[in-house]
């Protein structure tokens, strides 16, 4: 495993590459407790921005809405958070996007927002055989995506 400085440099290089892509999105993939948050904080410090806690931001904005309103407002709220953040937008704690009651496709939300914003986000899961996996197969929020149109890097592989 590379040093933290090497990991940060790898992420900087990926962000530079992502600027020229249709989806300007870089995902730092790893299981809970693997160091994704600390890595994002280091990158944020170097580029003089902050890490946005997506769970906290979205839940505070949707708190007083009904379940149906939350489903319909989530995209607007998420885009507002991203659009008002400093570039690169660094997002952590994305679990709320996977909430089954919100009926959203989290990767598509991130990709849509990254068409106009350079985004670095944590992804609580694994990257296996060019597949981006969220949660365990027995978990109700389990998702598998082809990672071909997204820059994803497993922190264990940096």
Q: What's the token pair of residue 102?
A: 């919100």
pTM of the predicted model, to two decimals?
0.91
Average pLDDT per 10 consecutive residues for the chain, totaling 158 residues: 77 93 94 92 95 97 93 95 96 96 94 96 91 90 84 73
Angle at 68 between CA 107 and CA 89, to 5 degrees: 35
**Phi then psi for 131, rounded to 5 degrees?**
-120, 135
Determine the pLDDT at residue 1: 46
């Amino acid at each position: 495993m590379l040093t933290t400085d090497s990991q940060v440099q790898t992420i900087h290089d990926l962000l530079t590459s992502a600027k020229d892509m249709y989806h300007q999105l870089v995902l730092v993939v790893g299981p809970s407790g693997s160091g994704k948050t600390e890595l994002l904080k280091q990158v944020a410090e170097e580029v003089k921005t902050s890490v946005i806690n997506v769970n906290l931001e979205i839940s505070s904005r949707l708190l007083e809405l009904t379940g149906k309103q939350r489903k319909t407002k989530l995209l607007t709220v998420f885009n507002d958070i991203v659009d008002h953040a400093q570039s690169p937008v660094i997002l952590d704690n994305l679990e709320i996007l996977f909430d089954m009651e919100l009926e959203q496709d989290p990767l598509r939300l991130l990709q849509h927002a990254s068409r106009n914003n350079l985004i670095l986000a944590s992804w609580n899961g694994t990257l296996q055989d060019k597949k981006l996996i969220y949660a365990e197969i027995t978990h109700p929020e389990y998702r598998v995506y082809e990672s071909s149109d997204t820059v994803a890097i497993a922190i264990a592989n940096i």
